[in-house]
Amino acid sequence: MNRTVWFGLAAALGGVAVGTFIALRSAGEVAAPPPSAQVVADIRPPEATFDPVFEPCAHCHQIGRGARSATGPILQGLANRKAGTLPSYPFSPAMQASGLTWDAATLDRFIAAPQAVVPGTRMIYAGMDDVERRKALVEFILKAGSGS
At 108 the pLDDT is 98
Q: Is 1.10.760.10 the CATH classification of the domain at 47-144?
A: yes
Domain boundaries, the chain: 4-42, 47-144
At 9 the pLDDT is 40
Q: How far apart are CA 138 and CA 102, in angstroms?
A: 10
* Contact yes or no for 45/65 (Cβ under 8 A): no
* Contact yes or no for 125/112 (Cβ under 8 A): no
* Distances 12 to 8, 61, 133 between C-alpha atoms, Å: 14, 18, 33
- Mean pLDDT, contiguous 10-residue spans, the chain (148 residues): 44 43 49 55 67 88 87 92 94 97 98 97 94 95 80
At 114 the pLDDT is 97
At 64 the pLDDT is 85
